[in-house]
Structure 1
Amino acid sequence: MAYQISQTVGPVLFLDSVSEARMHLAALFITSGEIPAPVVVDWREEQPQSIATYDTATVWRVRFSLPADAASSYVWNGETYPVAGDLSGDLRMGYVSCNGEEIGDMEREGSERNAMWARLREQHCTRPLSLLLHGGDQVYADEVSNGHPLSEGWPDDIPKDPSRADLADLSHHLRERFMARYAALYAAPEFAWLAARVPSLMQWDDHDICDGWGSLKRSRTYSPVGQTLFAAAREAFLVFQHATSEGDLPSRFADPKGQHLGWTINTPSLRIIAPDLRGERTRRQVMGEGGWTMMDAEASRDAEGHTFLMSSVPLLGPRLSILEAIMVAIPSMQKYEDDLRDQWQSRAHRDEWRRMLRLVRDMALREGHDITALSGEIHLATRATMDLGQGLELNQLVASGVAHRAPPEAWARTLGALSWLGENPLPEHPIRIAPLPGQSCRYTAERNYLLIERESGQWQARWDLETSGLTPRLQL
C-alpha cells in the first residue's frame, strides 16, 4: 500500500554553505502534490522548486539566505520561524546519530521513540542551537528491501541475473519505501519543530543504505540488486538529507559530480569536515581516491579557530582486532564480522586508519588551530583522546543514539574491558578511552545526544543522557 501524505511535511532546514556573512539555506517540504507556500525573507517571496516526485508525494525545496552573524527569521505559511544564525560569536550546536532501529522502527510509539528529540527541543528553547549535526544513520532503511521478490532475501539470497524490467520494478519499490520512511521521520512533531528552526548538516552511515553497506561481501554489493539498492539510497540521501539532487550539489560538497559525498563548512573561526565514509567503501577500504583527495586538501589548508571532524564510525577506539579475530574463528559468530569490519580499527583498514590519524595529528599541530572528532554509530556514549605530544591531545566525542535504544550494559562493560588493553596504531600517539564527565564507566549505555558550545572563544561539550541527565562540561 502506497504511503499517504496527510499534511505538508516541513519546513526542514539545511545549511547549503556559508559565504560573505550569509547562511545559504534550503528548506525541504513533502506534499501530496500541491505546491507549498513560498518562504518569505525580508518581504521577498522565494518560490518552491520540485526536486523529486513519487507515486503519492512530491518533494520541494526553497533556497534562501539569512545572516551568518546575527539572529534572524523567515516566514512560511503565515508563521515566523526564528533562526539563531550567529556563527561568529558565542554559539551552540547539537550532535546526534542513530535516529532509529533496525527492526520495526516505523511501528514504534512516537513519544517513546522521540523522547530525546523532545529533550533537545527543550534545550533549544533554553538556549538556541545555531546548527544541528547529524552523524549517520539518520534513517534505518534495513527493511526497505522487504516486500519485493528480488530483494526479499537481501543480502543472503538474491538472484544473479534479474531482468531489466524486474530491476526497474525493484528500483520503484525501493524509492517509494525510502520516501515513506523519511516522510514519517520528518513528520514527527518533536523532530519537525526543531528542524524548522535549526539548520541541519548530515553525514550518512550504513543504515542510511542497509546494515553493513560496504562491509558486505563484494558479490552482494556489486550485484544488480545491490547496486539498485545503493542507487535508491543515494538518491534518497541527496533528496532528504541535503535537499538536493544529482548535478545540483551545494558548494560545500568537495566533488560537484558526487563521486563521493564529502563536504566542508568554513567560517572565519569554525570549520566542519564530513568525509564520505560510505560512498566509496569496500571490504578493503573506507574511502576511495576522491575522499582522500578531499582530506589531503583540508589537511594542507590553513584554518583558524576550531575544526570539528565528523567521522560516522569512531576514529579512536579500543583494540577491536582481538574481538574480530575471535569472531572469525567461531562459525556461530561470523555473522557479526561485518559489524567489526565497519570500524576504522578493523584489521582490513589498519593502514588507512593510520593514514587518517596522521592527517588529523598534523592538522591538530598547526599553530593557532584545534581539532575535535565527532562520532556516533555504536549506540553508546563515550569519549577518547589521542596523545599528540607537545602537551596536546586530540579529543573524540561519541554520541549515539538519539532514538536507538541502548544495548545491554554487558556490551558496554565488554567494550570497557577491551579498552584497558590500550591501542596505539601510531606508537608515539597512544589512544585512551575515557568516561564521560561525571560517569565512572568508559561506555555509557543510555540514549543520548551531544551539546557543543563556544563561549568567549572557548569550546566545551556536554552529553544529555536519557537517565543520568546532563553531564558536567568537558573543556575542548
Structure 2
Amino acid sequence: MAGPLRLGPVLRHVDDRSAAVWVETDRAATVTVRLEDHPTGRTEWHRPTFAVHDHHYALVEVTDLTPGWRTAYQVLVDEEVCWPEPGTPFPPSTLSTTTGDGAVRMAFGSCRTSVPHDALHHLTHGVDALRTFALEVADGGTGPMGRRPDLLLLLGDQVYADSTSAAMREFIASRRDLDEEPGPELADFEEYAHLYGLAWGEPALRWLLSWLPSLMIFDDHDVRDDWNTSAEWREQMEATSWWHGRIVAALGSYWVYQHLGNLSPGSRARDPLWQELLRRERDADGREVDLTAAVDAFAGEVDADPTTYRWSYTHPLGGSHLVVLDSRAARDLTPGSRSMLDGPEMAWADEQLTGGHDHLVVATSLPFLLPRGLHHLESWNEALVDGRWGRWPAVVGERLRQGLDLEHWGAFSESFDRVAAMVDEVADGRRGQAPSSVVFLSGDVHHSYVTEVERTTGSRILQLVCSPIRNPLPRAMRALVSGMSHAARPLGRLLAASAKVPDPRWSWHGVAGPWFDNNLALLEIDDGHLRAAWVAGRVLGGQDDRPRLTTVADLELDVPPAGSQHRPAVARVHPGVVGGTRGRVLRWLERRADRRGRDADPAG
C-alpha cells in the first residue's frame, strides 16, 4: 500500500466502552486514532508500533467511550492523517459502541481466496461475496436485513498458505526457488505478511473492515490443508525440512493479524505476549520494541504444547452470548483417546456453555453437525483407525481419513457427545435459564445449509453453515458432495454399526440448503426471534468490477418460548429466496440480462 499506512485500519473488538483499531505501518511510528467528536471531550488515543520480522504494527485501544455512540474517525501516523485516504470513493469510517441489549445483526462466513476481481477469476473462483456486500453497503444498501450488520465473524481460511495465487507465487519466486521445499506454499513470516496484504488490501474490503467490527478464528488452510488431522499427519509434517518454520510463522502471524484483535481489553491485558510488549515498552525509552524473538518462541511453544495457550474466546451479543471454539490447534491427537478439544480446552468450554442468555451462539470453524451419513462415516473411520477391524484395516483407515478429510466433529465422537451433553443441559435449563436457542455457526465445507436437532422440549438447537465466501467447489464436485450426503446415510450407519460405534447423542435433520455458490450469511438475533439470510454476488451486464448483491435464501427461524412443547421447525422462506423452480427461473432471467448487457456493451 502507498503511504505510511500499509494495511488497515481494521476495527476489531468493540463493546459498550471500548474499541480496538489495528494497523500495519511502513516504519516505526506513533499511531493515533482521532474521533470526530465524543461527549467526554477526549478525541485522541495513541500507541507506538511494535516490530515483528521488520514489519510494524499497532493496536490502539480506544477506551472510556460512551455506550451506543457512533462517530467518524481518522488514523494518523506520526501526526499525518493517513485514513481516510484522499479522494476515497467510500463513505467515512465510523466507530460505533454497543449498548448491551437490543437486536444484534451479524455477518459470518469462511473460506476466502485472494485473487483479482475480473471476468477470468470470476470464472475460476466465483464472485467474492464479502466484497460484493461491501460495495452494496458503500452505495447505501443494507442487504435483506434492512440494516447494516453490527459484527463480522470470519470462521477460518481467511488466507490460504498452501494454495497460493499467481500474485503470491510471484512474490515467493522473488525470494527463493519454487522448486525447493515448500515450493509455492508459504515458508515464513514475511510471506504471511504479504499474503495478509493481498487478502485485506482490496479497497472495498479494506473500507468494510475499517468500520465493521470483526472477530476471527483460524481453520486448516490458514496453516495447511488437514492441519492436525491425526498424530500420523503431524509426524509426516514434522519429518519435512520446512514444517517447523511454517507453523511458527503461521501461529505468530495469526496472533499479530487475527487473534490479538479478538480479545477484550481485560483478556488482552492477561495475554502473555501483550504483557511482554508492555513490559518492554516501559524500558524502551521511546524506541520501537522488536517482538520478533518473543513471537517466534511463543509460536513454537504453543505448537509443541497447545495446552499452554488458548485461542478460543467469548464475546457479548447484546442479551445473547458468543463462544468461539478453536477446533484446530486445541486437538488432542493421542491415538485411542483423540479429542477435538484437549483437557483444558474442554474444561473451558464446559464453563462457557451456560444459560441465562437470550441465545447462546457457538462458533466453530468445522460444522458441529454434518449430514447424518457423513457423521456416521467419520465415526466409523475413527474406530477403524483405532484398530476395531485389525491392523491392516487401520492403515487403510488412516489413508481414507487423510484423503477424504474425515476429521470433523464426527471423527472425534467422544468429544462430540461431551459437547452435545453440555448443550443439552443448557437447552434443558440445567445451566441457568434456558436460552431461546443454541445456534452453532460454522464454515469449512464449501457449501451452506441449516440443520436442526430433533427435540420436543427446551431450547431449539440449530446449525448454520456458511462456506465459501470465495472458493467454490467445481460443479462436478458439487454433484459428488450432494450425492455423498445422500448415499452416505445408509452406508455410514451400516459401517458404524458393523464397527460397533454407538449412535451419536443427537438426531438431526436438514432445514434448508445446501447452497454451493460463494455466499455470506447474515444472522439477526432479536429476543426470541431469529432470522438468517445468505447473500451472493452476481455479475450483470458484464460489470465484473461492480457485481450486484442477490439473496440466496432468507429464513425466518421462529423460536417458541424456552421450555414449551414444539415440533422440529421448518423455516419459512421469504419470497426473495433464490432456490427451487423459482430460483432456476430467476437465474435464467439473470443470464438473459447478462447476455443482453454484453450484447449492448461489446467491451464488457
Give TM-score, length-normalised by structure 1. Answer: 0.80
Q: How far apart are residue 266 of structure 1 and its match?
A: 2.8
Q: Which whole-Å CA distance do the structure 2 matches of 1:71 and 1:235 have between them?
A: 33
What is the rounded CA distance, in whole Å, between the counterparts of 2:474 and 2:67 in structure 1? Answer: 39
Distance in 2 between residues matched to 1:252 and 1:401, nearest whole Å: 30
1:367-420 CA distances to partner (integer Å, 9 max, x unpaired)? 341310000000101111112341653110000011112342313422431465
Question: Offset of 1:255 from its aligned partner?
Answer: 8.1
* Structure 1 pair 344–8 and aligned structure 2 pair: CA distance change class (3 A): same
CA contact (8 A) 2:31 2:58 kept: no
Alignment correspondent of 1:289: 343
Question: CA–CA distance in 1 between the matches of 2:51 and 2:474?
Answer: 37
Q: 2:422 — aligned with what?
A: 359
Distance 2:483 2:70 in 1: 45
Cα deviation digits, residues 292-325 of structure 1 (max 9, x gap): 12101113x4432112100110001122243775
- More helix by proportion, 1 or 2? 2
Q: Does residue 259 of structure 1 match 2:309?
A: yes
Give the counterpart letter for 1:341 in structure 2: L
Please give the alpha-carbon distance, in whole angstroms, between the structure 2 residues aligned to 1:195 and 1:133: 11
Q: 1:255 to 1:291 in 2, by over 3 A?
A: farther
CA RMSD of aligned residues (A): 3.8
Matched ranges for 1:42-191 at <5 A: 42=38, 43-55=42-54, 57-65=55-63, 66-76=65-75, 77=81, 79=84, 80-86=92-98, 87-100=100-113, 105=114, 109=118, 112=122, 115-122=128-135, 124=137, 125-126=141-142, 127-143=147-163, 152-153=180-181, 173-191=187-205
Q: Distance in 2 between matches of 1:63 and 1:254?
A: 11
Separation in 2, partners of 1:325, 1:262: 27
The TM-score normalised by the length of structure 2 is: 0.64
- Contact in 1 for aligned 2:11/2:19 (Cα 8 Å): yes
2:322 to 272, 275, 293: 272
Give the match's secondary structure for 1:60.
Answer: strand
Q: Residues 415 and 191 (structure 1 numbering): CA distance in 2 closer, same or farther, change over 3 Å?
A: farther
Matched residues in 2 for 1:149 and 1:285: separation?
Answer: 39
- C-alpha distance in structure 2 between counterparts of 1:150 and 1:8, whole Å: 27
Matched, 1:450 2:449: no
Structure 2 residue 435 is matched with structure 1 residue 385? no
Does the 8 Å CA contact 1:14/1:25 hold for their aligned counterparts? yes
Give the secondary structure class of the aligned counterpart of 1:140: coil
The answer on whether the counterparts of 2:50 and 2:58 sit within 8 Å (CA) in structure 1 is yes
Change (3 A) 1:249 1:198: closer
Q: What runs of 5+ residues in structure 2 fail to find an aligned partner?
A: 76-80, 85-91, 273-307, 386-392, 494-500, 539-549, 560-604
Mark the CA change 1:430 to 1:451 in structure 2 (over 3 Å): closer, same or farther.
same
- Residue 512 (structure 2) aligns with: 435
Amino acid at match of 2:259: H
For 2:178 and 2:2, the matched residues in 1 are separated by 25
Does the 8 A contact of 1:254 with 1:294 survive in 2? Answer: no
- State the match for 1:440 in structure 2: none
Deviates more, 1:43-52 or 1:110-119: 110-119
Within the candidate set 17, 20, 33, 1:39 is matched to 33
Give 1:232's aligned residue: 249
Q: What fraction of aligned residue pairs are identical, expressed as a percent? A: 21
2:543 maps to none
Helix, strand or coil at the partner of 1:345: helix
Distance in structure 2 (CA, Å) of the matches to 1:368 and 1:250: 29
Provide Cα deviations, 1:332-366, integer angstroms capped at 9, x if missing partner. Answer: 993762553321112xx111111111112222222
Q: For 1:328-343, what aligned pairs fall within 5 Å after superposition?
A: 334=399, 337=402, 339-343=404-408
Larger Rg: 2
Structure 1 Cα separation of the partners of residues 227 and 117 of structure 2 = 24
